[in-house]
Each structure stands twice: as C-alpha cells, then as structure tokens.
Amino acid sequence: MVLAVAAALDQRRLSLLVFVSTVFLISAPLSAASAPWTFWPPAPARGDEGCLSWRVMVEANNAKNWRTVPAPCIPYVYNYMSPVWGQYARDVASAVDQMLAYAGTDTAADNGLDAWVLDVDDTCLSNLPYYQANHFGAYDPAAFRAWASKGICPGIPAMVKLFWTLKGRGFKVFLLSGRAEETLAAPTASNLAAAGFAGYDRLILRGVGHRGESSVEFKSAMRRRLEEEEGYRIRGNVGDQWSDLQGHSTGDRVFKVPNPMYFVP
C-alpha cells in the first residue's frame, strides 16, 4: 500500500516535470521571438491580431508619438471605423453609456457652475471622411484646415445624445478645441450647429496667443481659466486624445473615446 502511494506520487512528480519542461521548451522560443516587440505589428503582418494589439496600445496610451496608421493596419482601421459595420460606433456608444451612468448619479449644482468639457474633433464631430480620403496618412495642416473650413463633419451620434443629456441635467457644456480661432471659428460653429450641438455654453478655440503650445498646455490653460478665474467645477472631461485629458484642471473624471486614426501630442 505504502509502495503504491509512493509510486503514484513519483508518477505525478514525473508528469509535473514533463509538463514544466514542455512549457519551458515551447515558451522559450516564443519569448525570444516576441522580445524585440516594437511599436509596429511584427512583420510579416499577421492579420488583424497584430492590428488589434496596436489599437489597444494606442487607446491605452502605451504607444505615443506615432505619425500614421501602420501600413499593414490601414485595412483594419477602415473596417473598424466603418459607419456601417465597424466596431467604432459601438465602442463610442459604450463609452457614452459610462458617461451617462456617471452623469446620472449627479445633477448640476444650483449655482450653475458645474460643467463638462468636450473636445470637438473626433469627439463631437467626425473627421473620418477626411482621414479615409487620405488613407490615414500623416497630418497635413493645410489640407486639414481646408477640410475643416467646409463645415461638413458629421456629428457622432452617441456624443449628440450625451450633449443633450448633460444640458437637460443642467450642466454647462464647454467645447474645447485646438482648431485655430482666427480661421476656423465660423465654420466650426456652423458645423456644430448642423451636427446637433446647439446651445453649448462656449466654444473655446486656440487664439493667436496660444500658437505653438502643445495641446496639453493649451487645453490645460483653458480649463484652468474656467475653474480658477470663472469658478466652474469640471465634472467630466471627454476627448479622443490623451492630450485632451492630461495636464491641469482635468476634471473630476475623464473619458477617452476611441481614435485609431491619428495621435495628437
């Protein structure tokens, strides 16, 4: 009996040893192969798996300072962003569900100073037609200005819903954008109105005095002014870029909506 139990234990130890050795042998080459993981999906392109990893890195802010969608992932981003079958609209709607749940626990204070700050480009208004036409290439300031001047960006439906819910709950809503005030104020305002964002409390654009500042610097300064000089309390802050949500006076809570098309430092 004792010998039988000892033999059984030895068998289990042997099995465990074989299992661990097998795992080590299998995983060692994989670890070595994946060690030089860089920003771009490993070549040759492995299909959507690598691009999904890339998108998660982008959204989690692990990847920074990228200039274009990596070439192997352009078809993936087309599919992801598709207004017809893409996952993008569902992801934005899910993010907005979280915003509504948070806002639903709260109503604005009677003093009229509770506010939300929403970014404009690819938070309220979609630039998808422009970036699709340019195959998600590098940012071109002149071409983007020409596109934005047309004032034809579609509204992002879930964000229109958020906007009207916030207004209905008595929050001030400030729209904060790095667009140049002197050239894009009029088309941006008319575009917002046409896209369903009517009755916001202020559209804050980048004036000439803030040229050359990073998005974090400019938006921090504008939010700080709202809070420290005008007495507002920022309850929620929404953007498609991490630079919308970092710096000073970021608000009680920040929400990131997806954007795998470009990166703004």
Choose between 108 and 180: whose C-beta lies nearer to Mg ion.
180
Nearest position to Mg ion, beta carbon: 121
Task: Give residues 189-248 in contact with Mg ion (rule: CB under 5 A).
Answer: 240
The position carrying tokens 């007495």 is: 231
Q: Is 122 in the site for Mg ion (CB under 5 A)?
A: yes
Choose between 114 and 240: whose C-beta lies nearer to Mg ion.
240
In terms of Cβ atoms closer than 10 Å to its own Cβ (0-12, 13-18, 19+), residue 184 is buried
Choose between 72 and 239: whose C-beta lies nearer to Mg ion.
239
Q: Which residues pair with 94 in a beta bridge?
A: none
Choose one: 101-109, 120-128, 148-156, 207-215; the region binding Mg ion (CB under 5 A): 120-128
* Distance, CA of 223 to CA of 118 (rounded, Å): 11
Do 126 and 153 form a contact (C-beta atoms < 8 A)?
yes
Choose between 114 and 121: whose C-beta lies nearer to Mg ion.
121
* Distance, CA of 252 to CA of 239 (rounded, Å): 14
Choose one: 112-120, 154-162, 208-216, 249-257; the region binding Mg ion (CB under 5 A): 112-120
The H-or-E segment that residue 30 falls in is helix 2-34
Choose between 126 and 249: whose C-beta lies nearer to Mg ion.
126
What number of H helices and E strands is found in the chain?
A: 9, 5
How many C-beta neighbours within 10 Å does residue 187 have? 18
Q: Is 119 in the site for Mg ion (CB under 5 A)?
A: yes
Choose one: 14-22, 44-52, 118-126, 138-146; the region binding Mg ion (CB under 5 A): 118-126
Note the residues at the interface with Mg ion (CB under 5 A): 119, 121-122, 240
